[in-house]
Amino acid sequence: MEKYRVVSFSGGKDSTAMLLRLMELGEPIDEVIWCDTYKEFPAMYRHVGKIKSVVEAAGIKFTELKSDVSFDYYMFEKPVKRKRKYINEKYNNPLGFSWAGPLMRWCTRALKIDVINKYLSRLYKRFDVIQYTGIAADEQYRLERKNNEEHIHPLVTWGWTEQMCLEYCYSKGYDWEGLYKLFDRVSCWCCPLQSLENLRTLRKNFPDLWEELRQMDKRTWRNFRADYTVERLEKRFALEDERTAQGLTINPRSKEFRAALKSVGG
Ligand code: SF4
Find out whether the beta carbon of 169 lies less than 6 Å from any atom of ligand 1.
no
Find out whether the beta carbon of 198 lies less than 6 Å from any atom of ligand 1.
no
State the average pLDDT over residues 156-177: 97
Percentage with pLDDT > 90 across the chain = 85
pLDDT at 206: 98
State the average pLDDT over residues 60-68: 98
CA atoms 63, 69, 75, 81: torsion sign: negative
Centre of ligand 1 to C-alpha 132, Å, is 22
pLDDT at 147: 60
Query: Cβ distance 20 to 146 under 8 Å?
Result: no
Q: Can you list the positions of beta strands (E) in 133-221?
A: 151-152
State the average pLDDT over residues 45-58: 98
Question: Which residue, among 191, 31, 171, has the nearest Cα to 102 in the 3D structure?
Answer: 191
CA atoms 256, 259, 264, 266: torsion sign: positive
Split at pLDDT 50, 70, 90, the class of 151 is confident
Specify the range with the lowest mean pLDDT, choosing from 40-54, 76-90, 139-153.
139-153
Per residue in 71-113, pLDDT (tens digit) is 999 999 999 988 888 888 888 889 999 999 998 899 999 999 9
Q: How far is Cα 235 from Cα 190, in angstroms, rounded to an integer?
A: 18
Split at pLDDT 50, 70, 90, the class of 58 is very high
CA atoms 191, 193, 194, 195: torsion sign: positive
Find out whether the beta carbon of 108 lies less than 6 Å from any atom of ligand 1.
yes
In DSSP terms, 94 is beta-bridged to: none
* Ligand 1 pocket mutation pick from 190, 193, 209 by most atoms within 8 angstroms of CB: 193
State the average pLDDT over residues 175-201: 96
Count of residues making up the chain: 266
pLDDT at 146: 61
Find out whether the beta carbon of 37 lies less than 6 Å from any atom of ligand 1.
yes
Residue 139 to residues 10, 203, 211, Cα–Cα distance (Å): 16, 29, 34
Per residue in 210-240, pLDDT (tens digit) is 999 999 999 999 999 998 999 999 999 999 9
Name the class of domain 3-183: alpha beta
User: Domain residue spans in the chain?
Assistant: 3-183, 195-266
pLDDT at 266: 82
